[in-house]
Amino acid sequence: MSESKPDTPESEPEARETQSGEPQASEPRAGEAQAEEPQAEEPQAEEPRAEEPKAEDPRAEDRGDPPAPAGEGDRIALLEAEISQFKDQLLRALAETENVRRRGQRERSDAIKYGATALVKDLLAVSDNLRRAIDSVPRDAAADDDRLTTLFDGVEPTEKELLSVFERHHIVKLEPLGEKLDPHRHEAIYEVPDPSQPPGTVVQLIEPGYLLHDRLVRPARVGIAKGQATDPPEPEA
């Protein structure tokens, strides 16, 4: 009799039952690749996000982007108008501040330079009286009288010292003899017939003038040469 051969396992693995009675998949043989079946991913529901306001790109027109909504454009135009208004107010305030600063500097400079104008005018009378005292006495008479000589020796140095003080404080004396009449610095009191001088030339000095820096304190009072009168033309025969 022929011996019976044991049953060979089939080519495909058979499911084995576990003790619990549930079928269990058999393990694949060695050398066989395990086929991985792709698992389908379940689509996840996207949460709605709040849209953030986007700034308007000035290059949007060049790129051909659609214009901003009407409400957004009005808001931008309003903000630009406010910026322009504030900028104009700022520039005006800066200009006004600069004008006030310059005006203050000019007033301070004028106060330093011309603050003593009233005092100078009062001192001019003292200088005039000293000069009148000197001119009132002839030099020849003073030479013969010791008392007049002593008077001159006291008055003349006093006048020189006063004029020196004037010069140190930029008080300039005007003695325009031989000069052309300047209406801004000279005051013509009368005219003197003098054919040797051009008309309008200062030929006599009545009272000297004075300047404080470049500002006139008192004009020089003068007499000017009068133009020579011309004879009327004779009538033709």
Mean predicted confidence (pLDDT) in 89-109:
93
Q: Which two tokens stand for residue 12?
A: 């495909």
pLDDT digits (tens, 9 = 90+) for 134-144: 888 887 777 77
Residue 9 pLDDT > 90, yes or no? Answer: no
What band does 233 get if pLDDT is binned at 50, 70 and 90?
Answer: low
Neighbour-count burial of 174, counting CB atoms closer than 10 A to its CB (0-12 exposed, 13-18 middle, 19+ buried): buried
The pLDDT of residue 44: 55
Mean predicted confidence (pLDDT) in 216-226:
93
The pLDDT of residue 18: 43
The pLDDT of residue 226: 86
Is 81 within 8 Å of 89 (Cβ atoms)?
no
Rounded distance between C-alpha atoms, residue 196 and residue 94, angstroms? 62
Residue 94 pLDDT > 70, yes or no? Answer: yes
Residue 217 pLDDT > 70, yes or no? Answer: yes
Residue 192 pLDDT > 80, yes or no? Answer: yes
Residue 203 pLDDT > 80, yes or no? Answer: yes
pLDDT digits (tens, 9 = 90+) for 22-52: 444 444 454 444 444 445 455 555 555 555 5
Helix residue ranges per DSSP H, 32-187: 60-63, 70-114, 117-135, 139-144, 146-168
The pLDDT of residue 145: 79
Q: Name the pairing type of β-strands 171-174 and 209-212.
A: antiparallel
Q: Report how far apart, in Å, the C-alpha atoms of 210 and of each of 31, 103, 122, 183 are.
A: 128, 27, 12, 14
The pLDDT of residue 207: 92
